[in-house]
Amino acid sequence: MGLVRGAVLALVLTGVLQIPTVTAQQKFITVASTTSTENSGLFKHILPIFKARTGIDVRVVAQGTGQALNTGKRGDADVVFVHDKVKELAMVKEGAFVNRHDVMYNDFVVVGPKADPAKVGATKDVVASLKKISAAKVPFASRGDKSGTHAAELRLWKAAGIDVAGGKGGWYRETGSGMGATLNTAAGMNAYALTDRGTWLSFKNKADLTISVEGDKRLFNQYGVMLVNPANHAHVKKELGQEFIDWLISADGQKVIADYKINGEQLFFPNAKR
Amino acid sequence: MNSLLEAFSSAWHLIAGFDAELAQIVGLSLQVSLTAVVIATLIGLPLGAVIAVERFAGRQALIVLLNALMGLPPVVVGLLVYLLLSRAGPLGSLGILFTPQAMIIAQAVLITPIIAALSRQTIEDAWREYEEQLQSLGAKRLSAAMTLIWDTRFSLLTIVLAGFGRAAAEVGAVMIVGGNIDGVTRVMTTAIALETSKGDLPLALGLGIVLISLVILLNTLAAVTREIAMRRYG
Amino acid sequence: MLPLILDSLSFAAGDTAIIRDFSARIEAGPRSIILGPNGAGKSVLMRLCHGLLLPTSGRIIWHGTRNGERRRQAMVFQRPVMLRRSALGNVVYGLKLAGVSSRECVLRAMDVLEVVGLASHAGRPARVLSGGEQQRLALARAWALGPDVLFLDEPTANLDPSATQDIERIINAIHAAGTKIIMSTHNLGQARRLGDEILFLSKGRLMEHTPVDRFFREPASSEAAAFIKGEMPWD
């Protein structure tokens, strides 16, 4: 009886007491990024290298783009690293962030059932293929969560002149979740979906899906990094945060990003302007 | 069926391989949920006991509220605690968002009503049986409540285990206030959510099996302890 | 503490009157038996006197005070409630509540356990004891507090004859040591064995308050006469 109580007490005390001392000693910053970036495995590749170079621990909180931007705005992170250039620039203008730098891009692809029920065929034209999918009323799984991917998807439907509101609940299925969950759903119901290549390459539940459309310039997905404005939040670690940003856009950081491959295939293409 | 077999194989390899990352995640899960249940018990148990024996205006309404709070959705608790601890929120200067402390707080908030509501019922049932005798022996209400807590300790232990189970099983609260940060705030349930979102279903299920095994182990320990104590005290 | 004066005591639960206009004067000394059929209100009367219930009207006056200090009285119930601890622990519990020092508690507890014949069971969990042993323990627990008055509410109603004998013997020992006994029962034989005076209750009213011999020889009320005749001879 006493032994069990002692063990529990020890576990609890170390839990409550230890963590503050650990955080006090280490240099770290909090970066809000997206689930797709996290799921691609990029951070597991580049962050240990950054730590070796600078001794700074980068803690990534992976959320949807909208949530990540909000986290930065509230001051709960030091740096934000997402892929919705339009929103990012707008928020820099608002004053929530200090500046914005291009870091890298990858592309979106449309995935769909190998049997290709919408008869999309081998095409590079994403707008044409979306028209075919909507005409055939074949299931399409959308994230529906105001993420960068979702925003890109909606822009493509608009370019195709299609109002998806008509298909909601029918062939157009909004999952309201992250990329992985949406792909799980698409795999489960043999649907088409728009996804970033990074998530797709590292996704392990492809089931019967394959890449339907790729290579269209409109599928370009730009990533940007921003420092949370210390004028709004005095506690922001602006020096350490800036160090991370500077490294990402430096020749060294850019090379490390380019080196990240899955099965020999590069996921992200560095394009920072110096 | 294939996935299930893969999952068991996955779980076995994880455990047998003493994977360091897994050990860290398991350790953190235990720390967070155990600490949370200790805090919740320290608050909820006396609260339940007092409500059980005292009579006061609004008592029935309070009991209804406590019972209802048992059904608090974890994700809602997470959101509320997040808004409290966010830099933009009232307790932001503490700077504990995205740390294990925030997770402990969120889980403690989640399970305190469970422990309070259930212990209130247990102690009130015992009070009906013991009330006359304890009053006759000269016990005042609050002292009687203490005595009842000790006398119903085996039922209360089950309640505490239920609270721990709820904490260890939830993902909504710790995901929001912890951020599932690799090596810092990643626990079993958020790790499972992550692997699921990466499509690695066998690994996710394997982690799930590890988690369930852990909880079974803890419950077994509690049952053995109870057996030994029962024999001593009857 | 004594005499205990009950003045026009009434108790009603909702619309039902259980004790009606009960007046009596209970002196120190004789063993008082509250006798009556089931449903007469004996248990409620005991609880009113002991302070566990408040009367609807009327007064309970202990010697010199309006309500006697509860600790100078103790009560043994029909069904003993045992705490989930050892026999010794149960007795010590009441003593601790009374503010007795830890060492004193154990000494006094062992003394009373000795008297009731449970000293060898002191370390056993109280809940595994037999019905008779538990009731003996309840007696020990009550008596350890050193009360001036000991209430007993049908203490042997659930016990077999041998256990009943044990209990009656202990009650007499307690009486001999100077504690006033007020006990309720519906058992005529027990009333005759243990009682010095009888307070006969019927439907919540005090019908008679007489010394035991006179009660059984010449019951003054028809209800009492019927009750005595109606009981089985071997009860």
State residue A183's pLDDT score: 92
The answer to whether A211 touches A108, Cβ cutoff 8 Å, is no
- Confidence band (pLDDT; 50, 70, 90) for C234? very low
Does the distance separating the beta carbons of C71 and B233 come in below 8 Å? no
What residues contact residue B85 under an 8 Å CB cut-off, 6+ apart?
A: B91, B92, B94, B96, B97, B102, B105, B177
| 3-class SS of residue A231 | coil
Q: Which of C47, C54, C83 to mutate to test the interface with B (most CBs of B within 10 A)?
A: C83
| pLDDT tens digits for range A119-152 | 988 888 999 999 999 999 999 999 988 888 888 8
Nearest alpha carbon to residue B226 among B124, B156, B167, B168: B156
Amino acid, single-letter form, for residue B188: M
How many Å lie between the alpha carbon of C228 and the closest alpha carbon of chain B?
32
| 3-class SS of residue B22 | helix
pLDDT in tens, chain B (234 residues): 677 788 888 888 887 887 888 889 999 999 999 999 999 999 999 999 999 999 999 999 999 999 999 999 999 999 999 999 999 899 999 989 999 999 999 999 999 999 999 999 999 999 999 999 999 998 999 999 999 999 999 999 999 999 999 999 999 999 999 999 999 999 999 999 998 888 888 888 888 988 999 889 888 988 888 888 877 776
ipTM of this model?
A: 0.89
Q: Whole-model pTM? A: 0.85
Neighbours of A8 (CB within 10 A): 16
Q: Rounded to an integer, what is the distance from CA A214 to the centroid of its chain?
A: 19
- The per-residue b/e assignment along C106-131, b for 16 or more CB within 10 angstroms, e otherwise, is bebbbebbebbebbebbebbbbebee
| pLDDT tens digits for range B76-91 | 999 999 999 999 899 9
What is the spatial distance between Cα C7 and Cα C66, in angstroms, rounded to a whole number?
A: 11
Lowest mean pLDDT: which of A19-28, A191-200, B170-179? A19-28
With a cut of 80, say whether residue C200 has pLDDT above it: yes
What is the spatial distance between Cα C22 and Cα C44, in angstroms, rounded to a whole number?
A: 12
Q: How far apart are the first and last CA of chain A?
A: 65
Does the distance separating the beta carbons of B30 and A35 come in below 8 Å? no
The pairing of beta strand C197-202 with beta strand A209-213: unpaired
Neighbours of A232 (CB within 10 A): 17
Neighbours of B54 (CB within 10 A): 11
Nearest alpha carbon to residue B51 among B123, B137, B131, B106: B123
What residues contact residue A163 under an 8 Å CB cut-off, 6+ apart?
A: A157
What is the average pLDDT score of chain C?
Answer: 90
Does the distance separating the beta carbons of B147 and C93 come in below 8 Å? yes
All residues of chain C having their beta carbon less than 8 Å from the beta carbon of residue B139 are 97
Does the distance separating the beta carbons of B136 and C70 come in below 8 Å? yes
State residue A24's pLDDT score: 52
Q: Given CB atoms, is B138 within the 8 Å cutoff of chain C?
A: yes
With a cut of 60, say whether residue A16 has pLDDT above it: no
All residues of chain B having their beta carbon less than 8 Å from the beta carbon of residue C80 are 133
Q: How far apart are the first and last CA of chain C?
A: 34
| Cα distances (Å, whole numbers) of residue B159 to B41, B44, B165, C11 | 9, 11, 10, 40
* Count of residues in chain B: 234
Nearest alpha carbon to residue A114 among A215, A200, A219, A206: A206
| Cα distances (Å, whole numbers) of residue C36 to A185, C157, C204, C227 | 77, 13, 9, 8
Nearest alpha carbon to residue A79 among A226, A233, A229: A226
What are the tokens at A116? 């290709």
The nearest alpha carbon in chain A to B232 belongs to: A1
With a cut of 90, say whether residue C228 has pLDDT above it: no
- Confidence band (pLDDT; 50, 70, 90) for C72? confident
Does the distance separating the beta carbons of C84 and B153 come in below 8 Å? yes
Does the distance separating the beta carbons of B100 and A75 come in below 8 Å? no
The nearest alpha carbon in chain A to B225 belongs to: A1
All residues of chain B having their beta carbon less than 8 Å from the beta carbon of residue A201 are none
